[in-house]
Amino acid sequence: MKIGVIADDFTGASDIANTLAKGVEPEGGLRTAQFPGIPMTPANEEIEAGVISLKSRTAPVKEAVADSLSALRWLVDQGCQQFIFKYCSTFDSTMEGNIGPVAEALANELGAQKVTFCPAFPTTGRTVYHGHLFVFGKLLNESGVENHPLTPMTDANIRRWLQHQTQEAVGSVSIDAVKQGPEAISDALRNADGRFVIGDAISDEDLLAWGEALKDAKLITGGSGIALGLPRNFLREASSKSVGIAFTGIAGPAAILAGSCSGATRGQIDVHAESNPTFAIDVPGVMSGDVTTQTLLDFFETHPGQAPLAYSSGSPDDVRAIQSQFGQEAVAEKLDNLFAETARELVQTGYKRLVVAGGETSGAVAKVVSEALGSPAMSIGPEIDPGVPVLSVGKTEPIALALKSGNFGAPDFFAKALRMMEVGK
């Protein structure tokens, strides 16, 4: 392998795997695979970029650090030359972590002296300007993520936010240096205060400049955008050769599971409900045991071929009320188990296409699907919407997955995903 990625959730892993596989013209991307958890065996020798999907974004800090270090050591054993710690492009974390503590542990393990932090992803509206993170021109803490049920982001100054999480000094490289190109970025990075450095970027051109400037960096952290220019550093070597994304489509029964409470996902559910059957999961019913896996299976079986969607998404006020009644961790665990067991049963009964919304939900589903099919590696297919590719799991009888971060995707994402899974483009 050339590049090894440690992602703190499953949708984020798909996002950066898509970026590495696609690359930029004319060079293209790397042969990329996504792994649901830390593999127990070596990777195929043809894989040039390996992305390990962890569920560490909201895990206890010690657990997140331990899992990330285990993933790093496996990637080191695969021969990776460069490593990326991938987190959400909205820097999802709390004042206690987990971004800072995990980055510290990885940097210490690798002996990295300067570590860039750049969550920018301009294609999806995420930009960093003078250390402040914006979402479609709105300050992060005014964009809706301040209402996130697990990691409410209440400060757009990510340099200040990261400083809460780490003992390392946090510096910055401003947009003024970035606009001058890779050499200026390298100089600014070298002279920046602190071991950790927030990197500005407001366009794809800025990310490409960062990619060239970071060609020799041992450890990089950020959203998927920071990987945009990295494949071509390796493709210029004779040992790497760009390959196209091979996916011809998978037909068969389909289902949609949505556990995200983001405004984007709720809007996508509303659009889908205009012409397709939907089922609103009663979360108190889940907590009491009245709503079970069989409840969801009965709904899906009643609507074959109609793109049925089951969702637990609710407004921020609804989510807070339910968490207050039952407890945040208890609700999350119950819903994760519900979605995971439903997905397992769907796959075992012949479903071939699953679309999943929400990072926690996607993590739960991807793990059980991979286990059910006995396939540790997921192949990266075509991009549905920016940051969301089709994934193919299994060799003899593969199924198609789409794991969507809550805020990603166009209003008609669900229908578009199912169509692309079937036709392959």
DSSP calls for 347-370: HHTT--EEEEESHHHHHHHHHHHH
> 221: which strand partners?
85, 117
Domain-located, residue 187: yes
Q: What's the pLDDT score for residue 243?
A: 54
Other beta carbons within 10 angstroms of residue 45's beta carbon come to 9
pLDDT in tens, 195-208: 999 999 999 999 99
Average pLDDT over residues 249-258: 96
Domain-located, residue 247: no
Residue 77 DSSP SS3: helix
Same domain assignment for residues 391 and 263: yes
Q: What's the pLDDT score for residue 79?
A: 97
Name the maximum alpha-carbon separation found in the chain.
63
pLDDT in tens, 357-386: 988 888 889 888 888 888 778 889 889 998
Same domain assignment for residues 310 and 275: yes
pLDDT in tens, 75-119: 999 999 999 999 999 999 999 999 999 999 999 999 999 999 999
Same domain assignment for residues 159 and 210: yes
Which band of pLDDT confidence, cut at 50, 70 and 90, is reported for residue 239? Answer: low
Q: What's the pLDDT score for residue 313?
A: 86
- In which domain, by residue range, is 292 found? 254-423
pTM score: 0.82
Say whether pLDDT at 271 is over 70: yes
Q: Which CATH number characterizes residue 91's domain? A: 3.40.50.10840
Same domain assignment for residues 263 and 335: yes
Dihedral sign computed on CA atoms, order 102, 107, 110, 111: negative
Q: What's the pLDDT score for residue 10?
A: 87
Same domain assignment for residues 298 and 196: no
Average pLDDT over residues 61-81: 98
Say whether pLDDT at 244 is over 60: no
Same domain assignment for residues 360 and 228: no
Which band of pLDDT confidence, cut at 50, 70 and 90, is reported for residue 287? Answer: very high
Which residues in 117-136 are b (16+ Cβ under 10 Å) and which e? bbbbbbbbebbbeebbbbbe
Question: Could you give the residue ranges of the DSSP H alpha helices within 236-356?
Answer: 263-273, 283-288, 293-302, 316-326, 328-348
Domain-located, residue 245: no
Q: What's the pLDDT score for residue 355?
A: 97
Give yes or no for a contact between 5 and 16, defined as CB atoms under 8 angstroms apart. yes
Residue 82: both structure tokens together: 């460069």
Say whether pLDDT at 240 is over 70: no
Which residues in 148-177 are b (16+ Cβ under 10 Å) and which e? bbbbebebbbbbebbbebbebebbbbbbeb
pLDDT in tens, 150-162: 899 999 999 999 9
Same domain assignment for residues 19 and 120: yes
**Which of 76-90, 201-215, 230-244, 323-337 comes out lowest in average pLDDT?**
230-244
More confident residue, 410 or 320: 410
Other beta carbons within 10 angstroms of residue 243's beta carbon come to 14
pLDDT in tens, 37-59: 999 999 989 899 999 999 899 99
Q: What's the pLDDT score for residue 245?
A: 55
Q: What's the pLDDT score for residue 11?
A: 86
Say whether pLDDT at 17 is over 70: yes
Task: Give CA separation, 327 vs 87, 95, 149, 188, 263, in Å.
Answer: 25, 20, 11, 46, 22
Q: Which CATH number characterizes residue 323's domain? A: 3.40.980.20
Token look-up 């940097």 returns: 107
Domain-located, residue 364: yes
Angle, CA 59 vertex, CA 53 and CA 62 arms, to 5° = 105
Say whether pLDDT at 333 is over 60: yes
Domain-located, residue 230: yes
CA distance 330 to 372: 25
Q: What is the number of alpha carbons within 13 Å of residue 173 lying toward its C-beta?
A: 34
Same domain assignment for residues 287 and 378: yes
The percent of residues in the chain predicted with pLDDT above 90, rounded, is 77
Q: What's the pLDDT score for residue 86?
A: 98
Same domain assignment for residues 259 and 208: no
CA distance 286 to 362: 18
Q: What's the pLDDT score for residue 257?
A: 97
Residue (of 202, 219, 179, 206) closest to 82 by Cα position = 219
Same domain assignment for residues 128 and 167: yes
Domain-located, residue 97: yes
Dihedral sign computed on CA atoms, order 123, 126, 131, 132: positive
Share the mean pLDDT of the chain.
93
Number of domains, the chain: 2
Q: Which value, to the nearest 10 degrees, does the dihedral of the CA atoms of residues 206, 209, 215, 217 take?
A: -50
Same domain assignment for residues 44 and 183: yes
Tell me the one-letter amino acid at 285.
G
Same domain assignment for residues 169 and 260: no
Q: What's the pLDDT score for residue 397?
A: 85
CA distance 329 to 110: 33
Query: Beta strands 3-7 and 49-53: pairing type?
Result: parallel
Domain-located, residue 286: yes
